Structure 1
Amino acid sequence: MLTIYGVYRSRASRNIWLAEELGLPFKLVPVIQHYRLPDPTAAGAPLNTRSPDFLKVNPNGHVPTIDDDGLVLHESLAINLYLARKHGGPLAPANLAEDGEMTMWALWAATELESQALTIMYHRVGGPAGLVKDPKVADAAVAALRGPFAVLDRALAKSGFLVGGRFTVADINTAEVARYALAAPELFEAAQNVKKWLAACQARPAFKKMWAARDKEPA
């Protein structure tokens, strides 16, 4: 069975969403981010990313990690590419060219979007304990994302999806990164294809199921 280490309020949401899309049964081992705890090393602290037991699973000290019948993988976007390829179907690449495109979009989301999108979320919504929200920092991140959002908008203009004219793992991976920027609605208003695409992705039953479970977790 597939085991996912993490919590819904983490990048594990990406893997859980894909598992729901694929109809994969999975076991979730709750591992909370250490920075969300007053003292992650305290006696009785819940399993977290600095717990010795978890560091045996992922020595990097991050979630998510999966154990798929003995294969241990880290990095949420790579995990999703692996699971899609393994289980096939319309979410997976149909050929080598699509495989390359899906890998490209995963790396693009990680390098072009994620850092600035997280900065927007942290400084407009709230971030790790001790981080003081700074509107100027958020505004700078919005400015930095206008170019990448324009790139994404043009890519979505033809079919409304990123690869193969259909909803795939590339959309899941990229949408879950773009979601962090929702605290900057001005980005989405300037990129209507992105706005419609993200709404369509988040309207899917598998996303709604994942999000409902996420809402039940402590913030």
Structure 2
Amino acid sequence: MKLYSFFRSGSSHRLRIALRLKGLETEYLPVNLRTEQHFEAQFKEINPQSMVPVLAHDSKVLTQSPAIIEWLEERYPTPALLPANADDRAHVRAMAAIIGCDIHPINNRRILEYLRHQLGCDDAAVNAWCATWITAGFDALEALLGADKKRGDFCFGHAPTIADVYLVPQVESARRFQIDLAPWPHICNVDSACAVLDAFRLAALVMQPDAV
């Protein structure tokens, strides 16, 4: 497997976590978003959308982290990142979607670049934008975590699921945008539980491209 990734990309980070949890090794190929390497013709041939991550396996080229993670779950079902029960799977997917659909897409690099360069927003305005949507999503997720009285140390049950895979990179992003995490103790506890696991720790230790 070849993984095209950028060290600070939240969607790339979540895929790296999922691959580590599955025990899968990849050839790591950094794509430098800061120098707009993703817009170069060579990479656009790989992914016409000019986005990371991309996972190349045999003759397949897989894009979009939710689709790739679901593919990993089907192709490599052990250890499972989704519960066995359909109702529980829906619950875990909903928690992941709070981040993957409602927080991350409007706080990712291309949106922030538009805010900076097309709308003339300064760093304070960009951070306020990010804080607005992270706060709204984290408030909802915190409530869901608090309502689950059977939950262990993770977002669901006693082992990581895709909800944790999505959450940890978003917590890292919140810290980068100088957001105080104190209002969300359940989220902080989940992040701490994940931090001691090799899969999460090693997923964060990736090659940074030049000009970072």
TM-score (norm 2): 0.77
Larger RCO (alpha carbons 8 Å, 6+ apart): 2
2:140 alignment partner, SS class = helix
Runs of 5+ consecutive residues of structure 2 not aligned to the other structure: none
Deviation at 1:204, TM superposition (A): 1.8
Deviation at 1:164, TM superposition (A): 4.0
Indicate yes or no: 2:13 matched with 1:13: yes
Change (3 A) 1:67 1:52: same
Does 18-27 or 170-179 show the bigger shift? 170-179
Identical counterparts, % of pairs: 20
Aligned length: 200
Q: For residue 71 of structure 2, what is the amino acid of its counterpart?
A: Y
How does 1:1-219 map onto structure 2 within 5 Å?
2-10=1-9, 11-33=11-33, 36-37=34-35, 48-93=37-82, 94-115=84-105, 118=108, 133-157=122-146, 158=149, 159=151, 160-182=153-175, 183-186=177-180, 188-214=181-207, 217-218=209-210, 219=212
Q: For residue 25 of structure 2, what is the amino acid of its counterpart?
A: P
RMSD over aligned CA atoms reads: 3.0
Q: Is the 8 A contact 1:65 1:73 kept in 2?
A: yes
Deviation at 1:141, TM superposition (A): 4.0
TM-score (norm 1): 0.75
Q: How far apart in 2 are the matches of 1:195 and 1:143?
A: 18
Q: For residue 74 of structure 1, what is the amino acid of its counterpart?
A: T
Runs of 5+ consecutive residues of structure 1 not aligned to the other structure: 41-47
Q: How far apart in 2 are the matches of 1:55 and 1:179?
A: 28
Change (3 A) 1:54 1:209: same
Change (3 A) 1:143 1:31: closer
Change (3 A) 1:115 1:19: closer
Deviation at 1:195, TM superposition (A): 1.4
Deviation at 1:192, TM superposition (A): 0.9
